[in-house]
Amino acid sequence: MATFQKRSGSWRAIVRKKGYPQVSATFDTKAQAERWAKQIETEMAQSRFIDTREADALTIAAALERYEREISVHKKSYRNERSRLAILKRDLGNYTLTSLRSSDVAAYRDQRLEVASGSTVRRDLALLSHLYTIALKEWGMPVDNPCAKIRKPKLNNDREQRVSDAELGRILQAARERHAELASLITLAVESGMRRSEILELRRENVKGSVAYLADTKNGSARAVPLSSVARAAIGELPSRLDGRLFSLRPDTVTHYFAKCCKDAGVAGLRFHDLRHEATSRFFERGLNIMEVAAITGHKDLRMLRRYTHLNPSALAEKLG
């Protein structure tokens, strides 16, 4: 049975029914309060009532904070995901889980595309969508996913950034002048195809003869990476450290220094991750087959290798004769 209370010019409706939590809401007029109460009583009588009060009160910002504590911290990508969480909190944090509409997400998408790539915005939306999946399946909140029906941004064209031997030589020279370890790290990236994180986690004990053994990789599988004579020489130039690690540099420091070295060398548009792309392309140009390259780089989806492989047409012409 519903009861109504008049408070400072507004009306509060209270619905109590056995087997359901007490629910209430405040309205400008008594007629509005009565209509709402009748709707709630009908839904309860037909066993269709869903209590959305928790989701109605939980802001996107608070939900993302809980998601970070319970979900993000267990991801390998947590360090990178923190900045994405911060952007979503900044732009959508004031909405609640139930008030955020598809049109709001679409507006966010279009605004982000003005400053970020399609791939970046897709990852933003994937994170927001997963928040709603977790809220529904694990937190027990009756929410609809506002990301489900909007158009996803187009993916960027595959990067075709290659670095010539001459350009690499200038970058390495700049690296030697900037930090003692940097040239060895860059050489190892080009020669092995390892990711930045994988190289920085390497310890002396992980390198045995001509193979580097990676226990913890991005895709969760251990792998053994064969090392060329050039890669082994780069490792040999590094001084021994008390902690056993090959490198003392932090990931963000590597990215910052590499950008500086490229600028000093007059090489535009090259990112550190492009060195993995370059290494993969060079493997194919040396005649390795796709399974051999996948074993080195750790790609599980062979189709992904196409994104990293932009073969030098001159090298292909030499093979044709």
Residue tagged active-site, from 273, 277, 300, 303: 273
Catalytic site includes residue 276: yes
**Is 79 one of the catalytic residues?**
no
Reading the block at residue 225, the tokens are: 């990476």
Which is the catalytic residue, given 89, 112, 179, 195?
195
Q: Which stretches does DSSP call E strand in the chain?
A: 2-7, 10-15, 23-27, 207-208, 211-214, 223-226
Beta bridge partners of 57: none
Instruction: State yes or no: is 67 an active-site residue.
Output: no
DSSP result, 90-118: HHHTTSBTTT--HHHHHHHHHHHHTTS-H
Can 75 be counted among the known catalytic residues? no
Catalytic, out of 218, 241, 256, 286? 218
Active site residue 260: no
d(CA 97, CA 126): 16
Please give the distance of CA 92 from its chain centroid, rounded to a whole number: 18
Q: What is the DSSP letter of 245?
A: B
Known catalytic residue at 20: no
119 Cβ contact partners less than 8 Å away, ≥ 6 residues apart:
153, 155, 156
Dist. CA 294–CA 302, nearest whole Å:
7
Give the residue numbers marked as catalytic: 195, 218, 273, 276, 299, 308
